[in-house]
């Protein structure tokens, strides 16, 4: 009996020591100590042992079981330690490695100018209307007092999609949509892309504008002038900037004006930026033509309005000292890196 127990014990200990994973360990535990395990069967067979021999045999069985369990326990600890070591090895971090450089993007100068304009006019109580880039001939021209064959249509070389639809040439088209859908008082700005068949150092076939419109009782050119004075001081960041209005022509305004600002680089003495004149042209504006108001169902005995159209690229070129509009469209990182806030 003692030999048999020794044999079970030696074999189990050898198998446990050779086990390289938890499954193998469990397997040994079952074959020796499980319900039908070799040692369990010996214990069950105790009834056949002579009563005087039972304490002795019982002691041998217990010793064998203790030895096996102790070996199982220490092998389990050893395997766990090895597994942990492997995990640490595989998750090792080299803290001396150089960090991955994350480059951060920034807003495009045109977006910055647009956001700034929206902020300035927003603070004056204007709401934002964004129209569509594809417009009808009616909203882009006819409703703005520029009917078919009107010579002013030649001021803007238009991309027609069909005889009725076109790529809007001006955000002024938004004025009409707003006046058709909302009763005065109206105070709206409408930023967006516009398209014209134009291409040189200061013109691009796609560019950005922001239209402004105010319609209320008793609105006059003085209100326009006062608001513009405030606006240019904010956008060019100086209280010393002056505005002047020059007579001009737009079919949808009467009278119409071009708005100049005193050169913020030379203070009006004359420099390269203002081409020696001391003044820089920044936008077109005027008092809304009664025909436009009436076409939108607004009673001109009661209401009047002013409108203005700002070229965002022009403002960006002036603000950032850019002399070629293409720089704003070429996505050249060397240029853009200098222009973010
Ligand atoms: N729509 C004009 C253009 O694209 C700009 C403009 C001029 C808009 C005068 C206006 C305005 O509202 O009153 O050239």
pLDDT at residue 55 in the model = 87
190 in Cβ contact with 178 (< 8 Å): yes
Q: For ligand 1, atom 2, which residue shows the shortest CA distance? A: 309
pLDDT at residue 322 in the model = 84
Q: Is the pLDDT of residue 105 over 90?
A: no
**Sign of the CA dihedral 117, 246, 244, 263?**
positive
Q: How far is the CA of 156 from the centre of ligand 1 (A)?
A: 11
The best mutation among 309, 310, 313, 314 to test binding of ligand 1, ranked by most ligand atoms within 8 Å of the C-beta, falls on 309
- Model confidence pLDDT, tens digit, residues 11-20: 989 989 988 8
- Quick one: three-class SS letters along the chain? CHHHHHHHHHHHHHHHHHCCCHHHHHHHHHHHHCCCCHHHHHHHHHHHCCHHHHHHHHHHHHHHHHHHHHHHHHHHHHHHHHHHHHHHHHCCCCCCCCCCCCCCCCCCHHHHHHHHHHHHHHHCCCEECCCCCEEEHHHHCHHHCCCCCCHHHHHCCCCECCCCEEECCCCCHHHHHHHHHCCCCEEEEEEEEEECCCCECCECCEEEEEEEEEEECCCCHHHHHHHHHHHHHHHCCCCCCCEEEEEEEECCEEEEEEEEEECCCCCCCCCCCCCCCCEEEEEEEEEECHHHHHHCCCCCCCCEEEEEEEEHHHHHHHHHCCCCHHHHCCCCHHHHHHHCC
Share of the chain above pLDDT 90, in %: 55
- Model confidence pLDDT, tens digit, residues 129-151: 999 999 999 999 999 999 988 88
At 42, the pLDDT band (50, 70, 90 cuts) reads confident
Average pLDDT of the chain, as a whole number: 91
pLDDT at residue 341 in the model = 62
Q: How far is the CA of 260 from the centre of ligand 1 (A)?
A: 14
201 in Cβ contact with 193 (< 8 Å): no
Q: For ligand 1, atom 6, which residue shows the shortest CA distance? A: 309
pLDDT at residue 289 in the model = 98
Q: How far is the CA of 309 from the centre of ligand 1 (A)?
A: 4
pLDDT at residue 38 in the model = 87
The best mutation among 172, 192, 227, 252 to test binding of ligand 1, ranked by most ligand atoms within 8 Å of the C-beta, falls on 172
At 220, the pLDDT band (50, 70, 90 cuts) reads very high
Structure tokens at 59: 């002691």
Q: For ligand 1, atom 3, which residue shows the shortest CA distance? A: 170
Instruction: Determine the atom of ligand 1 nearest the C-alpha atom of 175.
Output: 12
State mean pLDDT over 43-66. 86
pLDDT at residue 150 in the model = 86
Say yes or no: CB of residue 285 within 6 Å of ligand 1: yes
Q: 22-31, 228-237, 248-257, 263-272: which has the minimum mean pLDDT?
A: 263-272
- Model confidence pLDDT, tens digit, residues 202-213: 788 999 999 999
State mean pLDDT over 313-339. 86
Peptide bond into 96 cis (omega under 30): no
Question: Which range has highest mean pLDDT (14-18, 101-105, 269-273, 336-340)?
Answer: 14-18
Instruction: Determine the atom of ligand 1 nearest the C-alpha atom of 213.
Output: 12
Closest CA to 286 of 259, 268, 263, 265: 259
310 in Cβ contact with 284 (< 8 Å): no
Say yes or no: CB of residue 137 within 6 Å of ligand 1: no
Closest CA to 242 of 232, 251, 234, 250: 232
| CB atoms inside a 10 Å sphere around CB 67 | 14
State mean pLDDT over 1-13. 87
Question: Which range has highest mean pLDDT (53-57, 73-77, 151-155, 252-256)?
Answer: 252-256
Q: Is the pLDDT of residue 177 over 90?
A: yes
């Amino acid at each position: 009996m003692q030999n048999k127990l020794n044999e079970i014990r030696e074999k189990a200990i050898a198998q446990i020591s050779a086990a390289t994973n938890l499954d193998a360990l469990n397997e040994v535990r079952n074959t020796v100590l499980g319900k039908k395990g070799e040692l369990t069967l010996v214990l069950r067979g105790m009834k056949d042992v002579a009563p005087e021999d039972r304490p002795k045999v019982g002691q041998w069985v217990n010793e064998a079981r203790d030895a096996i369990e102790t070996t199982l326990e220490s092998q389990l600890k050893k395997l766990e330690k090895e597994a942990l070591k492997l995990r640490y090895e595989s998750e090792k971090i080299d803290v001396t490695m150089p960090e991955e450089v994350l480059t951060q993007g920034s807003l495009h100068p045109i977006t910055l100018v647009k956001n700034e304009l929206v902020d300035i006019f927003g603070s004056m109580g204007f709401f934002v209307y964004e129209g569509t880039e594809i417009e009808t001939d009616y909203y882009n021209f006819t409703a703005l007092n520029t009917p078919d064959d009107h010579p002013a249509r030649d001021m803007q070389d238009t991309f027609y999609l069909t005889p009725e639809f076109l790529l809007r040439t001006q955000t002024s088209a938004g004025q009409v949509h707003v006046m058709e859908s909302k009763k005065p008082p109206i105070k709206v700005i409408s930023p967006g892309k516009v398209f014209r068949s134009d291409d040189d150092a200061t013109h691009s076939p796609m560019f950005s504008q922001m239209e402004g419109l105010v319609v209320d009782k008793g609105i006059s050119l003085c209100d326009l002038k006062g608001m513009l004075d405030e606006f240019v001081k904010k956008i060019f960041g100086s209280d010393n900037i002056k505005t002047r209005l020059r007579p001009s022509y737009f079919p949808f305004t009467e009278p119409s004006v071009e708005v100049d600002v005193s050169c913020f680089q030379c203070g009006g003495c004359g420099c390269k930026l203002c081409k020696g004149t001391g003044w820089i042209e920044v936008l077109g504006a005027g008092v809304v033509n009664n025909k436009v108001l009436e076409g939108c169902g607004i009673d001109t005995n009661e209401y009047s309005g002013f409108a203005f159209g700002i070229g965002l690229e022009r403002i960006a070129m002036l603000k950032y000292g850019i002399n070629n509009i293409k720089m704003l469209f070429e996505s050249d990182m060397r240029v853009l890196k200098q222009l973010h806030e």
